[in-house]
Amino acid sequence: MGQMTMLTSADGTQIPAYEARPAGKARGAVVVLQEIFGLNSHIRAVADGYAQDGYYALAPATFQRVRPGVELGYTADDIAQGRELKAAAEAVKQAVLQDVQAAITEAAQHGKVAVVGYCWGGLLAWRAASALKGLSAALPYYGGGMHLELSAPLRCPVMAHLSDDDATVPADGVAALQKAYPEVQVHIYAAHHGFNCDQRGAWNAQAAALARERTLQFLAQHLMS
């Protein structure tokens, strides 16, 4: 369904992105932010899914500045590589946010824009909700460390999908987030980190389906109104 395209970040850096278009007129646009495994088949499938639901979807390669062409699986070796790449990308996180902004700006040609992120992409989606322009909604899924960034005011409505067994967003961190941002819709699932990804052992079909149902309702509320 989709194809690769190129985005131009604020500093002129060229960032590849996977683009998936709906069959008819877009209901709005969804920027999909990858896990630590790169712009892999799972993230492309997620983008395709949003396009099938009527949204223009755009998934930027947010590791481009540290290593082009990253497309990992979910083995122990892949996880180790992904963590190293995330650490390198976090060292240039402001530049990475510029790349996300480029994706938001491009997607805005197709209507109101939401950002949906998974794993590290969930953390980027959380940051985008307070730091970037042009968003009508943000939906972080189990964004590791997002509970440590609780000071910036949010620029758009946020729905967070978290789990009750995730060391990267522990229970006390969830409580701190809810206290700091009572306006955020927080959903907690009986699942593990990564429960939305059907390519990893943590996949929880029931939790993933419920989170998707809630996500689509949130998108319709904030992108189609």
- Tell me the residue ranges of DSSP E strands in the chain: 3-8, 14-20, 29-33, 56-60, 113-118, 137-141, 159-165, 185-192
Q: Which residues share a beta bridge with 192?
A: 165
pTM score over 0.75: yes
Nearest alpha carbon to residue 53 among 20, 22, 18, 19: 22
Supply the pLDDT for residue 101.
98
Pairing mode of beta strands 159-165, 185-192: parallel
Question: Does residue 155 contact residue 129 with C-beta atoms inside 8 Å?
Answer: yes
Spans in the chain with pLDDT lower than 50 = none
Q: What is the pLDDT of residue 94?
A: 97
User: Domains of the chain by range and CATH?
Assistant: 3-223 (3.40.50.1820)
Residues 6+ apart with CB under 8 A from 188: 162, 163, 164, 174
